[in-house]
């Protein structure tokens, strides 16, 4: 039952995300008339959620989705009309459901939802009677009426009431290809009006074929309808004359032809896979790579003992083939893990639209690079930090309309979300055209908090960096968004955990840009395996620039810091054994692994270098996560686990220590 519970959570999350997307669509279109398909889809999502949660005995989710389903049923049957209140109400309750599902996945316990049910009921009662019942007489044959569901019957009546014509198209397709042909036909019908029902039939249909009777409503006349439909079309109810003029404006005429394949196909060709399963494949690939290395070694030994015989040649050849195929396999699995960043952006867009309304600011959201791909795991992990930054921009970046007007800016603010690939990294930019961060204030606050001496010189970038300090806030940058318990320091910490970093550019009255740089994937990375005392650690190659041999006599102590002069530049040194309180090595020479960039460049002193290896980083359990200095663990070779060093936190610790020492 455990795995099916997981399946339930995955499906529930999918349904709720789909619901949010649909509510957004409803919000954007309710004043002009919502597409009934959208409302029905939202009803169906709640209906499915209720059905599935009921089967699991999850009473809270069942009751809540049932109440929302009932509300949506009234909406789709025209008993309740959609307005802004309904939209906000739906958003709020889907959020509540999301929270319950979230908690369920984390704690395996279902939150009590009974408090919300009453709200939904009384809200629904207060709205009832908004819509008008449709007229009874519709003049459609009983044989058709009896196969319509209650909802379809309602749509039929609504079309008649709106003066639309009701048509019945009959088409016959070969069994093998009917889904694509039917999808094409459906598309054409939707440009004419609303498809009410698709009824498959085998009456008067040749062997190997299938017939469909498609019932649809359209304001166009029979002649116009027939123009693009090379099928048998019958008029059941005539459209009211004033609308029967040339093909009336279809819902979305322009894109109709250009629309990508309908969703018909995707239900049968895509599979949902737990990311853990992909990790397992990657692990197997890792083990195969080790086996391949063993074969290579045997090959090399054979060359030495047997010389270049054809057998030895074959061993080398097979090693190369293995290597190439394994690399291909690995790339393919990594590719499966990739998702377009647009998925995250659209979730952020929802927050922007809803939140801007809540706080009464007008925001234009612009997005670029939605197709940029990122590992699914990273995408999920980065969404909270991004959400925090977006809210921060809305709260404190973008000025209220009157202030903007006074500054001569457009009243509505602009937030730009942009993503692009840069080498093995993805950069996500969040830019606002708000008031910018006041560097003077940040500096003053840092001095007040005792983080900085009043006479200390800092660059702009170094000063701004203080906003990432826990508990730090100025009026312009509130480190903690009210009541949400997430601070800028958490953003930075999360990024470091993911092997990324944040940069900020800001200009007073022009705006602020946050640039988050992340590795494309964490699934498999190249790492250098090193020895410190009797322990082995992995250092990710992405953060490493070179390795050196360092005689201990060459290490100098300047202002409490241990440094080494590398090509004339001072390089701070971190003794990894001291950092982790491991015994000192006996040798008077060490290897230095140079990591970090620019001013954050340091040398890590280790006892021995073992060579490069591809590793799959696994996160540490909650209990071990609190240990500083480790990014995770990785399996190397047969069931041997080593720890992966968290370079960013090592550098941070050493910088703090140095600062602290300098202040003594």
Partner 1 sequence: MKTILIVEDSATTRSLIRAVIDEIGEFDTVEASSGFEALKMLPQQDYDLIITDINMPDINGLELISFVRSNPRFSHLPIVIVSTERSEEDKKRGMALGATAYVTKPFKSFELQEIIKKTIGA
Residue 479 CB neighbour total at 10 angstroms: 21
Q: Which is nearer to partner 1, 197 or 506 (CB)?
A: 197
Cβ atoms of residues 500 and 525 within 8 Å: no
- Is 179 a residue that touches partner 1 (CB under 8 A)? yes
Give kind and range of the element (H or E) at residue 645. strand 640-645
- Is 465 a residue that touches partner 1 (CB under 8 A)? no
- Is 198 a residue that touches partner 1 (CB under 8 A)? yes
- Of these, 210, 442, 467, 604, which contacts partner 1 (CB under 8 A)? 210
- Is 200 a residue that touches partner 1 (CB under 8 A)? yes
Dist. CA 601–CA 545, nearest whole Å? 9
- Of these, 2, 146, 422, 639, which contacts partner 1 (CB under 8 A)? 146
- Of these, 162, 172, 188, 199, which contacts partner 1 (CB under 8 A)? 199
- Is 52 a residue that touches partner 1 (CB under 8 A)? yes
- Is 240 a residue that touches partner 1 (CB under 8 A)? no
Residue 35 CB neighbour total at 10 angstroms: 15
| Smallest separation, CB 100 to partner 1 (Å) | 16
Q: Where does this chain touch partner 1 (CB under 8 A) — which range of 197-205, 477-485, 506-514, 539-547?
A: 197-205
- Of these, 28, 51, 95, 627, which contacts partner 1 (CB under 8 A)? 51
Residue owning tokens 């600011």: 361
| Smallest separation, CB 212 to partner 1 (Å) | 9
| Smallest separation, CB 123 to partner 1 (Å) | 19
- Of these, 241, 267, 310, 482, which contacts partner 1 (CB under 8 A)? 267
Residue owning tokens 């686990």: 641
Residue 179 gets which letter from DSSP? Answer: H
* Strand boundaries in 359-482, DSSP class E: 363-368, 373-375, 413-422, 425-432
- Of these, 21, 47, 337, 494, which contacts partner 1 (CB under 8 A)? 47
Residue 269, both tokens: 């060709």
Cβ atoms of residues 378 and 498 within 8 Å: yes
| Smallest separation, CB 77 to partner 1 (Å) | 11
Residue 502 CB neighbour total at 10 angstroms: 20
Q: Where does this chain touch partner 1 (CB under 8 A) — which range of 52-60, 226-234, 412-420, 546-554?
A: 52-60
- Is 147 a residue that touches partner 1 (CB under 8 A)? yes
- Is 197 a residue that touches partner 1 (CB under 8 A)? yes
- Is 264 a residue that touches partner 1 (CB under 8 A)? yes
According to DSSP, the residues that pair with 575 across neighbouring strands are 605
- Is 203 a residue that touches partner 1 (CB under 8 A)? yes
Cβ atoms of residues 402 and 364 within 8 Å: no
| Smallest separation, CB 48 to partner 1 (Å) | 5
Q: Which is nearer to partner 1, 259 or 424 (CB)?
A: 259
Dist. CA 402–CA 411, nearest whole Å? 7
Q: Which is nearer to partner 1, 157 or 388 (CB)?
A: 157
Q: Which is nearer to partner 1, 47 or 388 (CB)?
A: 47
Closest alpha carbon to 369 in 335, 344, 394: 344
| Smallest separation, CB 344 to partner 1 (Å) | 24
Residue 392 backbone dihedrals phi, psi, to 5 degrees? -60, -45
| Smallest separation, CB 178 to partner 1 (Å) | 7
How many residues bind to partner 1 according to rule CB under 8 A?
40
User: CA torsion angle for 35, 38, 44, 45 (degrees, to 10)?
Assistant: -160
- Of these, 28, 55, 403, 453, which contacts partner 1 (CB under 8 A)? 55
Q: Which is nearer to partner 1, 41 or 593 (CB)?
A: 41
Q: Which is nearer to partner 1, 202 or 300 (CB)?
A: 202
Dist. CA 389–CA 394, nearest whole Å? 9
Residue 347 gets which letter from DSSP? Answer: H
Dist. CA 256–CA 562, nearest whole Å? 68
Residue owning tokens 């900085």: 452
Residue 597 backbone dihedrals phi, psi, to 5 degrees? -130, 155
In angstroms and rounded to an integer, the radius of gyration of the C-alpha atoms of the chain is 32
Site string for partner 1, 7-46 (x = CB under 8 A): xx--x-----------------------------x--x--
Classify residue 19 by burial, with Cβ atoms within 10 Å: 0-12, 13-18, 19+.
buried
Cβ atoms of residues 554 and 563 within 8 Å: no
> Where along the sequence are the contacts to partner 1 (CB under 8 A)?
4, 7-8, 11, 41, 44, 47-48, 50-52, 54-55, 57, 62, 69-70, 73, 146-150, 152, 175, 178-179, 182, 197-203, 210, 264, 267-268, 272
């Amino acid at each position: 039952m455990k795995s099916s519970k997981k399946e339930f959570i995955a499906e529930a999350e999918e349904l709720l995300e789909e619901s949010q997307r649909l509510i957004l669509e409803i919000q954007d279109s309710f004043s002009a008339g919502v597409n009934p398909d959208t409302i029905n889809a939202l009803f169906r999502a709640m209906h499915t959620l209720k059905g599935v949660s009921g089967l699991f005995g999850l009473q809270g989710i069942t009751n809540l989705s049932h109440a929302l389903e009932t509300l949506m049923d009234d909406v789709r049957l025209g008993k309740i009309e959609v307005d802004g209140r309904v939209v906000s109400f739906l958003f709020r309750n889907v959020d509540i459901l999301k929270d319950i599902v979230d908690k369920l996945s984390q704690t395996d316990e279902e939150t009590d939802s009974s408090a919300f049910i009453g709200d939904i009921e009384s809200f629904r009662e207060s709205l009832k009677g908004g819509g008008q019942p449709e007229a009874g007489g519709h003049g459609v044959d009983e044989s058709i009426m009896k196969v319509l569901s209650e909802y379809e019957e309602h749509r039929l009546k609504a079309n008649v009431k709106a003066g639309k014509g009701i048509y019945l198209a009959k088409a016959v397709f070969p069994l093998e290809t009917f889904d694509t042909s039917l999808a094409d036909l459906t598309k054409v019908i939707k440009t004419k009006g609303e498809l009410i029902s698709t009824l498959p039939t085998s009456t008067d249909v040749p062997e190997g074929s299938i017939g469909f009777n498609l019932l649809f409503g359209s304001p166009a006349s029979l002649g116009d309808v027939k123009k693009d439909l090379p099928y048998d079309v019958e008029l059941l109810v005539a459209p009211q004359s004033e609308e029967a003029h040339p093909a009336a404006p279809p819902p979305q005429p322009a894109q109709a032809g250009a629309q990508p394949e309908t969703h018909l196909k995707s239900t049968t060709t895509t599979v949902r896979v737990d990311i853990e399963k992909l990790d397992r494949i990657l692990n197997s690939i890792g083990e195969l790579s080790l086996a391949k290395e063993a074969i290579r070694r045997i090959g090399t030994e054979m060359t030495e003992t047997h010389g270049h015989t054809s057998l030895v040649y074959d061993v080398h050849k097979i090693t190369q083939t293995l290597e190439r195929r394994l690399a291909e396999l690995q790339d393919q699995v990594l590719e499966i893990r990739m998702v377009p960043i647009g998925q995250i952006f659209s979730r952020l867009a929802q927050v922007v639209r809803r939140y801007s309304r809540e706080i009464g600011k007008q925001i234009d959201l612009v997005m670029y690079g939605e197709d940029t791909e990122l590992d699914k795991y990273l995408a999920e992990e980065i969404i909270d930090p991004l959400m925090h930054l977006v809210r921060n921009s809305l709260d404190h970046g973008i000025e209220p309309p009157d202030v903007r007007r006074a500054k001569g800016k457009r009243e509505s603010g602009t937030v730009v979300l942009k993503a692009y690939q840069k080498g093995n990294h993805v950069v996500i930019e969040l830019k606002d055209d708000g008031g910018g961060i006041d560097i003077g204030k940040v500096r003053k606050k840092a001095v007040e908090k005792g983080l900085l001496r009043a006479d200390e010189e800092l660059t702009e970038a170094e000063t701004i960096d203080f906003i990432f300090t826990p508990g730090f806030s100025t009026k312009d940058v509130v480190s903690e968004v009210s009541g949400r318990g997430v601070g800028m320091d958490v953003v930075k910490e999360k990024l470091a955990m993911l092997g990324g970093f944040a940069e900020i550019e800001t200009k007073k009255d022009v705006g602020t840009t946050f640039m988050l740089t992340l590795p494309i994937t964490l699934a498999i990375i190249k790492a250098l395996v090193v020895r410190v005392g009797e322990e082995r650690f992995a250092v990710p190659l992405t953060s490493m620039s070179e390795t050196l041999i360092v005689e201990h006599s060459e290490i100098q102590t300047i202002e409490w810091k241990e440094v080494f002069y590398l090509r004339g530049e001072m390089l701070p040194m971190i003794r990894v054994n001291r950092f982790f309180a491991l015994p000192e090595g006996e040798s008077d020479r060490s290897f230095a692994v140079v990591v970090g960039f620019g001013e954050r460049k340091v040398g890590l002193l280790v006892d021995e270098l073992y060579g490069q290896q591809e590793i799959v980083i696994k996160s540490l359990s909650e209990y071990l996560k609190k240990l500083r200095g480790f990014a995770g663990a990785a399996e190397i070779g047969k069931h041997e686990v080593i720890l992966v060093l968290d370079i960013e936190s090592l550098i941070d610790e050493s910088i703090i220590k140095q600062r602290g020492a300098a202040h003594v």
